[in-house]
Every structure is written in structure tokens, then in C-alpha cells.
Amino acid sequence: MATDKDHIKKALNEREGFQVWWRLLRPHTLTASFVPVFVGTMIALNTDGINILIFLAMLVASMLIQSATNMFNEYYDYVRGIDSEESVGIGGTIVRDGIQPKTVLRLALIFYGIALLLGIYICVESSWWIAVIGLVCMLLGYLYTGGPIPISATPFGEVFSGFFMGTVIIGIAYYIQTGTINSFVIFISIPVAIFIGCIMLSNNIRDLDGDQQGGRKTLAILLGRENAVRFLGLLFFVAFFYTAYLILVDVLPLWSTITFIAVIPAIKVVKGFKGKTEPLEMMPAMVLTGKTNTIYGFLLGLSLLIYYFI
């Protein structure tokens, strides 16, 4: 007889083998680490050229830290009893696939270790100040779901994730290439930070009922589902409006208008959440939020790359 766990696995198309470990990384969230590094590096390209090896090291380190953060989330939500076999939006490696919790925790620490080694290389090639900033980012990645009061369980999860994974990572990616930082980098990072915050908000909208039962106080819970969806739409609008402003004042090139292609999936995200109450129903909108960030960020970086060559 099919169990609730089997129903969830079938509905989410969860497969065995390598896919178990791939799901653990939560690949739809990894764009939140790829996009800032790409955008920051493309800004640097238009300023002072780039070192490809440093870019690749930063990219891999950032994605490893993001993956480790997802694993910490999987581990600590299981330990606190928040995740169950019916939970949607998690890797499910512990509660549905039977992977030992300590294995997930060890893998997260290994990823952190590799990221640390890459960070040392980046510091040697740029500045040791990056080590301080990188360690702070790694600590916050852990505290986002670990520690006595996880940041993800508070109304500030979207702000922390958007600022550190958006503005800070873009700033680091720029700095390690140029050795400087300027206001243009900060200005350009703002819409990216908003989109990353939107990924976290959409995740919390989907998980609202379960998070509420687990005693969390996320922004989505404080606003209520309908208002949270409206606020998500408002954030999308602000990000695109601000992008248009940056183009008009010549901070971004005219080529950056291609980023408005991302308006299409952004609208679909809001429509996908409206009227939905079940996590499975909202999962497509959650995944599409990550894709919206990917499309916007990739096109923003691409526009800067085109501008450099033209």
C-alpha cells in the first residue's frame, strides 16, 4: 500500500541513486550563489579586466557555501522536528531517503572545508581582508539555520540572505578582481539582492503552515499568506523599476533592458501562488522564483559582457 511518503516522492518526481544527493544540494537555490559572482565579475570586467582563475575559484566557493547552507538547513530542521516525510521543498535525503543525519552534517562541513581552501587561494591572489569577510559569510550561512535562534526562523531571513548573498558577494567578486570598491557596484547589487530575498520569501510562503506549527516567526507568517504574495509581487516591481532607473541614469548600459525578459516568469510566480494553500501546489511557483533570479541575473551579467565588447 502506498504511504504518504511514497505519494510525496511520486508527486515531486524524486528518484533514487545520484538524484538523492543532487536533491540535497537543492539545485533550484544555487542560482543565488552563481548570479552574484557572475554579475560582480562582469562589473569588474568593465572596470579593470578579470582573472579567470580567481573568478572560477570564487564561483565554486560560493556555490559550495550555498550547498552547505542547504545541508545545515536539512540537518537542523530534522533535529528540531520541523521536517517530516510529508515535508515539501526539502532535499528529503534524511526523512524520505534514509540518509543518516550525521552524514549530511559531515558533507556540509567538507564543503565548507573545500570553500575555505579556495578562499585561501583567493586571498593570496587579492587581499587577506577577504578572509575576514568570507569567514563572516560562512558563519552566517551556518547561523541561518543552525544556532539557538536560526535567522531563517525570524522575519529577517530575506534581508540577511539578500544582503549577504547579493550585495556582499557581488562586492567581493568585484573587489578580488580590481582591489577596489565603488558606489556603482552597490547600486547594481540592489536588484540582485531583492531577487535573492524573493527566493527566500517564496520558500517561506510555501512552508508557512509547517513553519507556523514549528514555532517560527518568518516574514510570511507575520504578513499572512495573501499579503506575503502581494509583497512578493511588490518586491519584483521594485527590482525592475530600480533596474530601469539605473539604465536611465547611465549606471547600467542600455543593453541591460534585456533583463526585463524576467518580468514574464515573475508574473507567473505571483499568479502561481495566488489562491494556493497546499505546499505541493505552490512548489512550481517556488522553483520559478529561482529561475526568475537566474534569468534576470544571467541577462544582467550578459548585458555587461556585451557592453564590454561593444
Q: Is residue 11 part of a domain?
A: no
Q: Is residue 9 part of a domain?
A: no
Q: Is residue 28 part of a domain?
A: yes
Helices (H) and strands (E) in the chain, counts: 14, 0
Nine-digit cell string for 147: 544556532
Distance CA 220, CA 208 (A): 7
Nine-digit cell string for 252: 547600467
Percent of the chain residues past pLDDT 90, beyond the cut = 60
CB 71 within 8 A of CB 105: yes
Question: What mean pLDDT is reported for the chain?
Answer: 88
- What is the pLDDT, as a whole number, of residue 273? 96
Q: Over 90: is that where the pLDDT of 73 sits?
A: no
pTM for the structure as a whole: 0.87
Q: Over 90: is that where the pLDDT of 266 sits?
A: yes
Sign of the alpha-carbon dihedral angle for 171, 172, 173, 175: positive
Region 99-117: mean pLDDT is 91
pLDDT tens track for 114-163: 999 999 999 999 988 888 888 888 788 778 877 778 888 899 999 999 99
Angle between helices 183-206 and 279-309 (to 10 degrees): 160
145: CATH: 1.10.600
CB 188 within 8 A of CB 43: yes
Number of domains making up the chain: 1
Range of the domain at 195: 16-309
1 band by pLDDT with thresholds 50, 70 and 90: very low
Q: Is residue 187 part of a domain?
A: yes
Q: Is residue 71 part of a domain?
A: yes
In angstroms, the Cα distances linking 208 to 27, 97, 171, 221, 223 are 21, 24, 32, 6, 10
Q: Is residue 3 part of a domain?
A: no
CB 193 within 8 A of CB 201: no
Q: Is residue 8 part of a domain?
A: no
Q: Is residue 4 part of a domain?
A: no
Nine-digit cell string for 292: 526568475
2 band by pLDDT with thresholds 50, 70 and 90: very low
176 band by pLDDT with thresholds 50, 70 and 90: very high
pLDDT tens track for 8-32: 555 454 566 667 777 777 777 788 8
